Amino acid sequence: MFLSITQFFGHFHPILVHLPIGILLIALLLQWLAGREKYKSFYAPVPFLLLCGMISAIAACISGYLLSLSDDYSNDIVSWHMWMGISVAIVSVVLYLKERKIRLAQQIRFLPAILFVLIMITGHLGGMLTHGSDYLSEPFADIFSDNNTGSVVIKPLPDVQEAVAYRDIVQPILQTRCYSCHGPGKQKGKLRLDDSVSIMKGGEDGKVIAAHQADESEMIKRMLLPIDNDDHMPPREKPQPTESQINLVRWWIGEGADFSKKVKDMSQPESLKPTLLALQEVPELKMTKVIVPTEPVEPAPLAALEKLKEQGIIVLPVAKESNYLLANFVTHSSVTSEDLNLLLPLKKQLTWLKMGFTDLSDDKMAAIKQLPNLTRLSIEHTAVSDKGIAELQSNKKLQYLNIVGTNVTSGGLSHLKELKELRDVYAYRTKIVASECKELISALPEIKIETGNYEVPTLSSDTVVVKVASSN
């Protein structure tokens, strides 16, 4: 009975503490301002405020002591908080006496400053007890460091199967959902969940984990109770674990609550697989093999770009903030040597060139030869033949070549065996036969020569229309 009454008064501590903080700080502020001629009149309420602050500080100390008896808190911070609080009360008494011109108190100087510092420290310690030791710094954790150990964000795992089930999956859940009351700062119900020994030891009501028997374990039972049940954990007003988090903890206990096993060594029920997979990092977005040279290049001369545009030739950067260019002759099918000369001022930047379906011919290929950074070249359905292809020998960066519908032969293609970067050659409707290109393929083992000529055979069923059988 006695205990419950003390607990009852103890529970007033969180309200009472705010009174001395507020009252004493305003008293200090007014006292400080009153020191100036202009605000002299502010002094009048100071002694009264100090009296109120003093009384409330004493009340806060008493209620705080009663609360600490419930013993849910770790002793270290509590004792500091207690002695600091008592100091606040004592200093405020002395300060009040000084204001009342009691002689003894006159000797001590800097009292207001001391009191101010004490209030700050006591308040902060109290905050740590209630909200966890990293409560204040948490919002800044992301700003100040990328790899904050106290961070409560559950980070995705690179490979969930390689993860240690406790360290990488269960512990972060406990850390975010349980540590604030059952961690280093507080041990409500004498339960600590931040190290393996304490977890298995349990709290004042006994063990919380029964290995291999997840549904018999107090921890799981409590989490699964309806949220308005008084025994539900975490308490209603605290952040709740998600369903999948509960399932993960339950699975870990069911698998024996082992602290070092890896996920891959534990049996994984079908229903849990998606949950486990969800913990895994989504692979970084891959920039697929879009071919753009990596070396930096200066911007192309604007005048040259304008001239091409006047001719109706499309010239564009390949991407925003890239100086590399693509040129497309899609609506400019009669290509003159002058047009091709317009490309030369851009020879460093030009990396993709589309000249399909134009009247490009062998004699005009000499201009293309002078484009050293060309990676993609489309000259399909043009009059280009072996002679023109031979000109490409100096385009060392060429990776993609589309010569569909040209007169190029296997022999012509073999001119390109020095182009070490060449990967894709589209040679449909040409005279190229892949089996005749052995020399080229042995020089460039990674090359793919696509000669196409795919057929989609017409099946007998393709043209038959199914009808309803006339009688059933």
Partner 1 sequence: MTRKEVFNQQLYNEARQRVLELHTRRHFLKESAMGLGALALGSLFGCRSGSPANEVSFDPAHPLMPKVPHFAGQARSVIYLHMAGAPSQLELFDYKPELMKMDGQDCPKSLLEGKRFAFIRGVPKMLGAQAKFQQHGESRAWVSERLPHLSTIVDELSFLKAVTTDQFNHAPAQLMMHTGSARLGRPSLGSWVTYGLGTDNQNLPGFVVLTSGGQNPDAGKSVWGSGFLPSVYQGVQCRSVGDPVLFIKDPEGMDRDLRKASIDAINVANQEQYKTFNDPEILSRISQYEMAYKMQISVPDVMDIKNEPDYIHEMYGTKPGRESFANNVLLARKLVEKGVRFVQLFDWGWDSHGASSDGALDVGFINKCRQVDKCITALILDLKQRGLLDETLVVWGGEFGRTPMLENREGKKMPFKGRDHHTEAFTMWMAGGGIKRGGSYGETDEIGYSAASGKVEPFDIQATILHQLGFDHEHFTYPFQGRPFRLTDTRGRVISEIIG
Residue 318 binds to partner 1 (criterion: CB under 8 A) = yes
Residue 452 binds to partner 1 (criterion: CB under 8 A) = yes
Burial 69-104 (b: 16+ CB within 10 A, else e): eeebbeeebbeebbebbbbbbbbbbbbbbbbeeeee
Residue 102 binds to partner 1 (criterion: CB under 8 A) = no
Q: Which is nearer to partner 1, 96 or 329 (CB)?
A: 329
Stretch that binds partner 1, among 5-13, 69-77, 248-256, 323-331 (CB under 8 A): 323-331
Residue 22 binds to partner 1 (criterion: CB under 8 A) = no
Q: Which is nearer to partner 1, 232 or 381 (CB)?
A: 381
Residue 404 binds to partner 1 (criterion: CB under 8 A) = yes
Q: Which is nearer to partner 1, 5 or 277 (CB)?
A: 277
Q: Closest separation between CB of residue 465 and partner 1, Å? A: 5
Q: Which is nearer to partner 1, 316 or 366 (CB)?
A: 316
Stretch that binds partner 1, among 32-40, 93-101, 176-184, 461-469 (CB under 8 A): 461-469
Asked whether 393 and 415 are in contact (CB, 8 A), the reply is: yes
Per CB under 8 A, contacts with partner 1 among 343-402 are 356-357, 378, 380, 400, 402
Q: Out of 294, 464, 470, 471, which residue is the one contacting partner 1 (CB under 8 A)?
A: 464
Size of the site for partner 1 (CB under 8 A): 52
Stretch that binds partner 1, among 15-23, 47-55, 131-139, 279-287 (CB under 8 A): 279-287
Q: Closest separation between CB of residue 312 and partner 1, Å? A: 8
Q: Closest separation between CB of residue 427 and partner 1, Å? A: 9
Q: Closest separation between CB of residue 319 and partner 1, Å? A: 4
Q: Out of 1, 282, 302, 303, which residue is the one contacting partner 1 (CB under 8 A)?
A: 282
| 448-450 and 325-328 strand pairing | unpaired
Q: Which is nearer to partner 1, 86 or 292 (CB)?
A: 292
Residue 424 binds to partner 1 (criterion: CB under 8 A) = yes
Residue 316 binds to partner 1 (criterion: CB under 8 A) = yes
Asked whether 255 and 158 are in contact (CB, 8 A), the reply is: no
Stretch that binds partner 1, among 8-16, 70-78, 309-317, 340-348 (CB under 8 A): 309-317
Residue 465 binds to partner 1 (criterion: CB under 8 A) = yes
Q: Which is nearer to partner 1, 209 or 379 (CB)?
A: 379
Instruction: Map tokens 């000499």 to a residue.
Output: 366
Rule CB under 8 A: which residues touch partner 1?
273-274, 277, 282-290, 292, 312, 314, 316-322, 328, 330-331, 356-357, 378, 380, 400, 402, 404, 424, 426, 428, 450-456, 458-459, 461-468
